[in-house]
Amino acid sequence: MLDECGLDSAIAWYVRGINQRNALHVEMQMPRKLQRLSKEAELAVFRIVQASLTNIHLHSGSDKATVRIKQDGEGCTVIVSDTGHGIPDAVLDRSSQTKGLGVGILGMRERVKQLGGRLEIETSGNGTRVKAMIPGHHFRTARAVRHRHFIAEVQAEKIVSNEDKVYLDDSPRT
């Protein structure tokens, strides 16, 4: 779904599922149409949202969460926050030192680091805020999009041909 529909649709679909199944209500704040990121960056953002919401549901004690996604010339910023009881310091300390915690916080840190971004976690007795910043060089450029469209046109031309001339449709050209 992520590759075909994009990050915005995939996150909206995931959040709708959570809102229907769990005792957690998630509010989404993001532009109507996000600019596409590299496949690696889109997967990382989706997994960060997924892991954050899973942690909120399982551990925070909060019944509300917010997912905010912003894009600007600097990159893409994802913020997932809740009003739960926070993450114990011991858990945060272990998450930066060991691989024994599974894919949660450690997985988020590794994904963001591989993309050259930053992950910040702020937590207190009033809730937790996970903020991931993905650098702007992960935006799919207009040139790359044009290239993909060109390749698709070439492939379409190869499918529909008339003798030695190739057309995008069945109508002959002079």
Rounded-to-integer distance, Cα 54 and Cα 52, Å = 5
Do 133 and 153 share a domain, yes or no?
Answer: no
Do 44 and 122 share a domain, yes or no?
Answer: yes
In Å, how far are 8, 12, 67, 70, 138 from 40, measured between CA atoms?
Answer: 15, 19, 20, 18, 9
Do 75 and 12 share a domain, yes or no?
Answer: yes
Which two tokens mark 24? 């957690």
Rounded-to-integer distance, Cα 138 and Cα 123, Å = 28
pTM for the whole structure: 0.77
Number of domains in the chain: 2
Which two tokens mark 71? 């894009």
| Other beta carbons within 10 Å of 66 | 17
pLDDT at 95: 61
Which two tokens mark 115? 């993309």
Do 90 and 150 share a domain, yes or no?
Answer: no
Would you give the distance in Å from CA 39 to the centre of its chain?
9
pLDDT at 153: 53
pLDDT at 115: 97
Residues in the chain: 174
Do 33 and 54 share a domain, yes or no?
Answer: yes
Do 110 and 87 share a domain, yes or no?
Answer: yes
Do 82 and 148 share a domain, yes or no?
Answer: no
Do 126 and 48 share a domain, yes or no?
Answer: yes
Pairing of strands 64-72, 25-29: parallel
Rounded-to-integer distance, Cα 164 and Cα 72, Å = 47
- Parts of the chain with a pLDDT under 50: 100-102, 143-152, 154-155, 157-174
Do 84 and 111 share a domain, yes or no?
Answer: yes
pLDDT at 32: 86
CA dihedral sign of residues 98, 101, 105, 107: positive
**Can you give the residue range of the structural domain that contains 149?**
141-174
Contact (Cβ atoms closer than 8 angstroms) between residue 166 and residue 172: no
Say which CATH number the domain at 55 has.
3.30.565.10
